[in-house]
């Protein structure tokens, strides 16, 4: 169930004919915004990610999806509370899915929805929430549209066809949400909270971003602002000041974090919903710690260079 190669293809062209055939791109209908599953006037506050796959746990594949989802949550004002990784075992998936759906507003799974024997996410989630599995006719139709000109697929055996159609075998009472006109793979949602995504990073990212318009996201004024400060001082030298600072600003909803870079210095992070207050505190921190304000882009670039 590799998140790099065995899940649904990384982009729509993977189920389209080869380039020399130059056929038109798909233009499927996208899903309308569904009723708010949390209730009218409510919005997502907390989230969790469930990463599924032996290859994550044994180190074969690097999990990039949880990091992308963490950034998606932060940018949209959602408090990501958990990231869990479980093997390709039904009992583990069932237990984690039930627990996370019970405790959080928005839960995603990533991985395990391809055509092979270890792609057991859909069947495990069906078991978790007491639903039978059923082929989804519209998804089968869209899949068929994407592959109808491919001779390698047309010549598949019955066994191979059954394996391919497992990718449209969903929990029977789940919502099926289509996020883009050129992506046949839907986001399957259960219990109004748990959304099932493929594991391939490129497709995962596309689908997470595409789902945003269908979610009851927090209003803009509930989204946090983060300002980072870099100082060359060692973490032990700044610890007393940061401890006092956190105690002082905690009631104002500002979180203070410190993230050392070995033998280089420390990034201090201030996060809060009041942009003006966070900006003023950041100026104070920079003065006290002989540091400098750093933009998100600069911080990412500096950390990537290490």
* Same domain? 92 vs 209: yes
In a domain, residue 26? The reply is no
| Whole-prediction pTM | 0.85
More confident residue, 8 or 192: 192
Report the domain count for the chain.
2
| Residue 259: domain span | 224-305
Percent of the chain with pLDDT over 70: 91
Cα gap 158→142, rounded to integer Å:
19
* Same domain? 228 vs 202: no
Q: Are 254 and 272 in contact (CB under 8 A)?
A: yes
* Same domain? 173 vs 236: no
* Same domain? 181 vs 263: no
* Same domain? 57 vs 199: yes
* Same domain? 74 vs 199: yes
More confident residue, 155 or 243: 243
| Residue at which a domain ends, from 181, 214, 247 | 214
In a domain, residue 22? The reply is no
* Same domain? 56 vs 147: yes
Q: What is the pLDDT confidence band of residue 152, given thresholds at 50, 70 and 90? A: confident
* Same domain? 129 vs 74: yes
Average pLDDT over residues 23-33: 84
Does 19 score more than 70 pLDDT?
no
Q: Would you state the torsion angle of the CA atoms of residues 230, 233, 239, 240, taken in this order, to the nearest 10 degrees?
A: -120
Q: What is the pLDDT confidence band of residue 305, given thresholds at 50, 70 and 90? A: low
* Same domain? 136 vs 205: yes
Three-state helix/strand/coil letters over 81-100: EEEEEECCCHHHHHHHHHHH
Q: Are 270 and 224 in contact (CB under 8 A)?
A: no
In a domain, residue 16? The reply is no
Q: What is the pLDDT confidence band of residue 6, given thresholds at 50, 70 and 90? A: very low
| Distances, alpha carbon 145 to alpha carbons 115, 139, 226, 269, 301, in Å | 18, 10, 44, 48, 42
pLDDT at residue 174, as a whole number: 98
| Residue at which a domain ends, from 192, 214, 236 | 214
pLDDT at residue 7, as a whole number: 44
* Domain CATH for 267: 3.30.70.2860
Bridge partners (DSSP) of residue 272 are 225
| Residue at which a domain ends, from 214, 232, 257 | 214
Q: What is the pLDDT of residues 102-124, one digit of tens each?
A: 999 999 999 999 999 889 999 99
More confident residue, 285 or 26: 285
More confident residue, 29 or 14: 29
* Same domain? 204 vs 121: yes
pLDDT at residue 304, as a whole number: 67
* Same domain? 244 vs 296: yes
* Domain CATH for 55: 3.40.980.10
* Same domain? 239 vs 115: no
């Amino acid at each position: 169930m590799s998140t790099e190669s065995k899940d649904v293809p990384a982009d729509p062209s993977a189920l389209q004919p080869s380039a020399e055939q130059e056929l038109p791109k798909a233009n499927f209908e996208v899903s309308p915004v569904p009723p708010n599953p949390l209730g009218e006037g409510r919005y997502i506050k907390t989230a969790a990610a469930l990463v599924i796959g032996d290859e994550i746990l044994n180190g074969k594949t690097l999990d990039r999806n949880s990091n992308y989802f963490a950034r998606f949550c932060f940018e949209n004002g959602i408090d990501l509370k958990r990231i869990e990784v479980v093997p390709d075992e039904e009992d583990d998936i069932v237990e984690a899915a039930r627990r996370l759906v019970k405790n959080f507003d928005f839960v995603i799974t990533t991985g395990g929805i391809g055509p092979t024997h270890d792609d057991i996410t859909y069947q495990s989630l069906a078991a978790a929430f007491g639903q039978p599995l059923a082929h989804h006719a519209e998804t089968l139709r869209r899949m068929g549209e994407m592959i109808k000109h491919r001779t390698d697929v047309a010549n598949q055996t019955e066994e191979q066809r059954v394996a391919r159609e497992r990718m449209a075998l969903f929990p029977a009472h789940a919502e099926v949400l289509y996020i883009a006109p050129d992506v046949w793979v839907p986001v399957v949602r259960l219990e109004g909270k748990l959304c099932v995504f493929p594991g391939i990073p490129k497709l995962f990212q596309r689908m997470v971003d595409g789902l945003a318009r269908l979610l009851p996201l927090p209003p803009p004024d509930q989204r946090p602002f983060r300002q980072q400060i870099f100082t060359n001082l060692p973490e032990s030298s700044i610890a007393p000041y940061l401890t006092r600072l956190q105690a002082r600003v905690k009631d104002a909803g500002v979180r203070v974090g410190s993230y050392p870079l070995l033998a280089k210095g420390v990034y201090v992070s201030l996060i809060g919903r009041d942009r003006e207050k966070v900006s003023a505190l950041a100026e104070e921190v920079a003065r006290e710690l002989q540091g400098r304000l750093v933009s998100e882009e600069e911080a990412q670039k500096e950390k990537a260079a290490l």
